[in-house]
Structure 1
């Protein structure tokens, strides 16, 4: 099937594999750690993010593929037709490549740059005699009491080591016999230890595991330590929840969370050259791992500690981090007018973090205190640890208002946090619901019902991101506040549908998943095809986190073949391949990674000059179309539409942080000449008033 045959668009060569595309995204995260235009400590953070991302990928995606292989499932996936085994082989190959890049970056670039900045992360053979004496005392006083050596013999089998824990396998000689023990590097202690400075300007550190390794013989008096092998295991952490048979979903999830730390091993990380082959074979056998599951590193095992390390260093070295930015208030909120009165006159748009998230918090606090507010309803997917939103909801309930909150307790890796919030809210008198069986509620929506004189007012907030005041400073998202009647009616019906047994409502403005968002998008793309046929001006701009949904991708290929110009801004996974003649030659795909995590979902359609603009909680992913409750909503205000379009056009013009996907699926930075002015979209949005 040649690329020029329009009937062959549904061919494996025309798509990227989901898992390999994700690894490509994480490689772009690693590029931010490589990019010397970023401040040094920010580069350390990007390396930590890369490492943390990879942990989660193995705990969920790789674990899922391994489960399929164990179950004998060998059906190819629907885009690239790769079987689970084939995917695992390619994932291993690609990940080994990324680990090599990671280690060389840390050793050859980041550590020398830290040295130049007067910051030393030392090996134990680099420390002074005074340092050694200091650490010897520190080990005895602060570290040794926390350590627990675990012998392995007939009476004490190999211990069930916790997920993501760093450990030392110790081989001992006693009475001519070789014996083995495990010493876990305590997660309760800081991973790095500060040393007295050698020079006035130097800050010196050593890693905790290196100190334990040096003095570990003190744990095994009467034995000779022959080898010490650092290793780390990653386990399957995906929850298996049988929702249909659960009498109480919260209790069911709490049970499963206890198992998460002890799932089947899916990855073994070891220190290159520090572990004998016999020990590697022993560890892989006891954990039931294959050779491809073992990853040798030359730098530290597990770079996630660099987040806290960079934070510690930044306290004294603000010159090595991003300059602080100030979020602004939208102009319409800079007066003294009550926000409810303002919303009766106009919609209010937010582009976070450039626009402050504080007005959303203030709105919730005002609603909790306002005696005229009768009810508050909200969906919560991920919230911060000390959420002011939660506090406002509790106060509203204490003040006698009807407060209903959907807490999504299946939000991956936030399950435990959300269960605690759910219990806390229930104790405060809030009606807490957990959603609909088999679906995650991913929509971001708040409804405030207020009585004003003899009428009922409804105020609605809709967003692309979570009600999380912490991540709102780190993620780019969009939100809309409106008092439009049709939005209020849709919001009312939406919450009644979630909390009761009513069938899906007939919406005025919303389009929702899992029932109709995909159909809405397919219709909108088809309309651009029709406009292209008649007027020759079909154009689509779509910005999202990930693109995996095959029906939408095939429709985009159809639109491309009809001549519709399609500009996609996809931060992460993108299974669509652009620029293939006869398939996707009118499609461009770019990914932007920068200081803030690009998270907003924007869908713009030219519509022969009418220009329809939509925001959503949903990506163009199959899971969002079929397995999540999502909301797609239109933007009508002319000024807001113009601002969103301007944001899209600036993003498309980015030539500093944008990477363009090539027709083979690889990404390359935008080509720029000496004559081109640098355009860094996030920097422009930060400065734009």
Structure 2
């Protein structure tokens, strides 16, 4: 299959003047993230998608924005309050960034509401209705009144706000309704608050052939007479609160587990970052909320629509397959099936890479389950960053320990929003005798590595798994990631040194193949880029292909600018934040950046260097890594980068995964020199990399079946494949 790559490299209609100020060379991290979330929101407007999938993208964009507010905006507000004037990469102060963020945030929320209005109308035509109570029939309203009395009233607690009734605590992401009431002509107005319990359903489904959903806060407002008999409602308003949810680790913390248990409690009571109100909120009630929650005008957002759009995800579970993507079942690697499911036998024969979610995460779980049950396995070492709620990986490690294996688990307590879950898993693992390590106080352990030592006829053999994503079975169904399995002895020795570094602070100084951050990974990347610069200056083919989630690290951006100016052709697939400016005259003319947003979340991280021949070629140097190009990954985290030398795996990663990403037009957004993105071609003549991966088997996982079903080969015009 030959796909014309030229659509990914459009000529710009009008190039900007060469930048004269240093800040013009970079895009602000926070504004770039907001741009990413606009691209996510645009998928809710994508008319080629089924309606419930569009609604899901809307809920994802809202959830993303909540997290951005709770972490990034909270951090900037904290800097302003403490008088910190640290400038961002583009030279903006925290106060300037907050002003720019607020303007874009308001626009983004307006666009979310507009998308909801559009989707509500389209879904209503399909029998899925988001309805105000007043729009329903008398019979339906009667059912809701009875439901409210039997199922909602017992859950909620009206609370008066006066000197004898202190203002209640409103949880993070908590939704409530505030009322201004009066009883009798002479009594003063009374303020009452009703908080929606976290265990209550956000949407109530009315029985009937149609799927009619009513937001619970509407029921509280509509049936206030049941809550406050004898009172007259003078005014009301729905509100929602977002709090600072970041956790800062103090270097002097003596016990990380105890520290995080306390810190999680503190986070739940973090200061209010944002107060969301419906635009018809009673003025007196609003004033009370502002005073009690200690928010100023800049921390208030009023909406004419629904609050908390992230909760729309529950409606996406409506059993309407006709309004969802066609179900996709990931393939199990035939290479392993050819070995009767024996992972060790298949890996011992030669390296294998698994492309999730197109290939099943079950193979990763089976690798660990087999290790747990195999009498020849003597030890297992495992990093755990995010493992999920019902984790088969944790279950396999527990089984291994119960079977007498020496099991070491590096559990990262600092994984944001997974701290509580990880504390739970650490306790479960310790209970059965697993040696649990919490890594470094100041660094997060973000590397994804499994190491299994097995006793075989010719001695001990080490089997390794290196991943670009987490050991999380749910994420593995929607995140695109790569799992690399190998029995290479040198990689096994390096992996053992990695674990010794984490568990015993024994810094490795003689690694054979792996590169680790924060002790050498960025230096190796710089050396590889320098080699491409040297090739370009010598007149040899020079190129870099890189796939990342984010790039914000100024030294890395400057090094890529240097490469561009030397004539190195650079293709970048950066899903999210990109502080690098592509196509700037005299700075980054030879850099092309695109973002892929589609059915699956792009998450894998890959670097490829031409090494003297036009990409893609078998001479290229290819690496998988757990690290993005951010200071936190390269300076403040333990990450790993592994070279790919096996021919078949090399071909799959470079000539299949990377090339398909570069050729994609259906789901791609091109980054323009002004920092804005535009969609590439869709429809006739376009290419969709996710559809390609769903339809075509991988190379290294295919095994002998390749002879029966040759994978369509992608080619880049003019490239030596």
Q: Is TM > 0.5 for Structure 1 vs Structure 2? A: yes
Distance in 2 between residues matched to 1:403 and 1:88, nearest whole Å: 47
1:65 has 2:76 as partner: yes
1:648 has 2:655 as partner: no
The equivalent of 2:437 in structure 1 is 433
The equivalent of 2:339 in structure 1 is 336
Deviations 1:610-637 (CA, angstroms, capped at 9, x unpaired): 2000000000111101110000110001
The equivalent of 1:103 in structure 2 is 113
Distance in 2 between residues matched to 1:372 and 1:168, nearest whole Å: 62
C-alpha displacement of 1:334: 2.1
The equivalent of 1:119 in structure 2 is 128
Distance in 1 between residues matched to 2:543 and 2:202, nearest whole Å: 52
Distance in 1 between residues matched to 2:535 and 2:223, nearest whole Å: 74
Task: List structure 1 segments (4+ residues) > 4 angstroms apart after TM superposition.
Answer: 2-5
Distance in 1 between residues matched to 2:21 and 2:114, nearest whole Å: 40
The equivalent of 1:254 in structure 2 is 261
The equivalent of 1:612 in structure 2 is 621
Selected match of 2:214 from 196, 206, 210: 206
SS across alignment from 1:162: coil
SS across alignment from 1:177: coil
The equivalent of 2:315 in structure 1 is 309
Deviations 1:139-160 (CA, angstroms, capped at 9, x unpaired): 1111111111111111222222
The equivalent of 2:300 in structure 1 is 294
Deviations 1:314-358 (CA, angstroms, capped at 9, x unpaired): x2x111111111211223112134322222220011111111111
Deviations 1:537-589 (CA, angstroms, capped at 9, x unpaired): 21111001000000000011111111111111000000001011001111111
The equivalent of 1:92 in structure 2 is 102
1:155 has 2:164 as partner: yes
C-alpha displacement of 1:454: 4.6
C-alpha displacement of 1:643: 1.3
Deviations 1:123-168 (CA, angstroms, capped at 9, x unpaired): 1220111112111111111111111111111122222211110011
The equivalent of 1:477 in structure 2 is 481
C-alpha displacement of 1:176: 3.6
The equivalent of 2:63 in structure 1 is 52
Selected match of 1:503 from 504, 507, 518: 507
Distance in 2 between residues matched to 1:277 and 1:149, nearest whole Å: 20
Question: Which 5+ residue runs of structure 2 have no aligned equivalent?
Answer: 1-14, 614-618, 698-721
1:195 has 2:220 as partner: no
C-alpha displacement of 1:239: 1.1
Distance in 2 between residues matched to 1:411 and 1:449, nearest whole Å: 27
Deviations 1:19-47 (CA, angstroms, capped at 9, x unpaired): 01001101111001111111111111111
The equivalent of 1:232 in structure 2 is 240
Larger relative CO (CA 8 A, sep 6+): 1 or 2?
Answer: 2
CA change 1:167–1:218 in 2 (3 A) is: same
Selected match of 1:169 from 161, 172, 178: 178
Alpha carbons 1:9, 1:554 under 8 Å: kept: no
TM-score normalised by length of structure 1 = 0.96
C-alpha displacement of 1:4: 7.7
1:448 has 2:459 as partner: no
The equivalent of 2:152 in structure 1 is 143
Distance in 2 between residues matched to 1:141 and 1:546, nearest whole Å: 49
C-alpha displacement of 1:75: 2.6
SS across alignment from 2:639: strand
SS across alignment from 1:145: coil
Distance in 2 between residues matched to 1:451 and 1:104, nearest whole Å: 62
The equivalent of 2:291 in structure 1 is 285
The equivalent of 1:557 in structure 2 is 561
Superposed counterparts of 1:399-548, under 5 Å: 399-548=403-552
Deviations 1:402-437 (CA, angstroms, capped at 9, x unpaired): 100001011000000000000000001100000012
The equivalent of 1:637 in structure 2 is 646
Alpha carbons 2:665, 2:688 under 8 Å: kept: yes
The equivalent of 1:326 in structure 2 is 329
Distance in 1 between residues matched to 2:46 and 2:241, nearest whole Å: 30
Superposed counterparts of 1:351-430, under 5 Å: 351-430=355-434
Alpha carbons 1:10, 1:554 under 8 Å: kept: no
Alpha carbons 1:4, 1:583 under 8 Å: kept: no
Alpha carbons 2:172, 2:243 under 8 Å: kept: yes
C-alpha displacement of 1:81: 0.5
The equivalent of 2:7 in structure 1 is none
Deviations 1:410-468 (CA, angstroms, capped at 9, x unpaired): 10000000000000000011000000120000000010001112501000100100111
The equivalent of 1:659 in structure 2 is 669
The equivalent of 2:271 in structure 1 is 264
Selected match of 1:27 from 38, 54, 74: 38
The equivalent of 2:708 in structure 1 is none
Distance in 2 between residues matched to 1:75 and 1:501, nearest whole Å: 32
Alpha carbons 1:369, 1:396 under 8 Å: kept: yes
CA change 1:394–1:57 in 2 (3 A) is: same
Alpha carbons 2:249, 2:441 under 8 Å: kept: no
C-alpha displacement of 1:292: 2.2
SS across alignment from 2:154: helix
CA change 1:501–1:662 in 2 (3 A) is: closer
Alpha carbons 2:179, 2:285 under 8 Å: kept: no
Distance in 1 between residues matched to 2:140 and 2:73, nearest whole Å: 42
SS across alignment from 2:169: coil
C-alpha displacement of 1:668: 0.3
The equivalent of 2:194 in structure 1 is 183
Distance in 2 between residues matched to 1:357 and 1:393, nearest whole Å: 16
Distance in 2 between residues matched to 1:504 and 1:88, nearest whole Å: 42
Question: Which 5+ residue runs of structure 1 have no aligned equivalent?
Answer: none
Moved more, 382-391 or 217-226: 217-226
In angstroms, what is the RMSD of aligned CA positions? 1.6
Distance in 2 between residues matched to 1:331 and 1:530, nearest whole Å: 42
Moved more, 419-428 or 510-519: 510-519
Alpha carbons 1:493, 1:505 under 8 Å: kept: no
Alpha carbons 2:74, 2:244 under 8 Å: kept: yes
Distance in 1 between residues matched to 2:198 and 2:158, nearest whole Å: 15
SS across alignment from 1:567: strand
Distance in 2 between residues matched to 1:335 and 1:460, nearest whole Å: 20
Superposed counterparts of 1:70-81, under 5 Å: 70-77=81-88, 79-81=89-91
Alpha carbons 2:16, 2:674 under 8 Å: kept: no
Distance in 2 between residues matched to 1:575 and 1:164, nearest whole Å: 30
1:681 has 2:697 as partner: no
SS across alignment from 2:223: helix
Distance in 1 between residues matched to 2:332 and 2:220, nearest whole Å: 51
